[in-house]
Amino acid sequence: MAKPDRTAESVSYTGLNGGVPTSGTFTEVSPDTWVESSSSGATFTFHEISESPAHVILYDSSRDVTIKMNLVTDNLTVQFGEGDRLVWHITDVSHSGWVA
């Protein structure tokens, strides 16, 4: 029997936001809740929509922001409602327990 794949526990990123370099980390703080800590000092809370060994999708309803982390290609997409979209680079992923 094959072992199940592991899921992400924290994901670090770097990119540009409005032309300004930014970096930070998304950390799973409880089941289905992630907190982003950015280099600007801002923190935001996200609800986990979906997670697999290949991706994590998060949503912040207070700002209508969706985060899509592709753990295979190391791309992190930030979608602002129906408007702007940014693509950042995943620089590090730490893993937690096993998917059942």
Which tens digits make up the pLDDT trace of 4-51? 456 789 999 999 988 999 999 999 999 899 999 999 999 999 999 999
CA 74 to chain centre: 11
Q: What is the pLDDT of residues 46-90, one digit of tens each?
A: 999 999 989 999 999 999 999 999 999 999 999 999 888 899 999
Q: Give, for 88, the enclosing helix (H) or strand (E).
A: strand 85-98
CA distance 88 to 75: 6
Report the C-alpha gap between 100 and 90 in whole angstroms: 25
Q: What is the pLDDT of residue 100?
A: 38
Kindly indicate the confidence band of residue 99, based on its pLDDT and cuts at 50, 70 and 90. very low
User: Which domains are seen in the chain, by residue range?
Assistant: 8-92 (2.40.128)
> Is the entire prediction scored with pTM above 0.95?
no
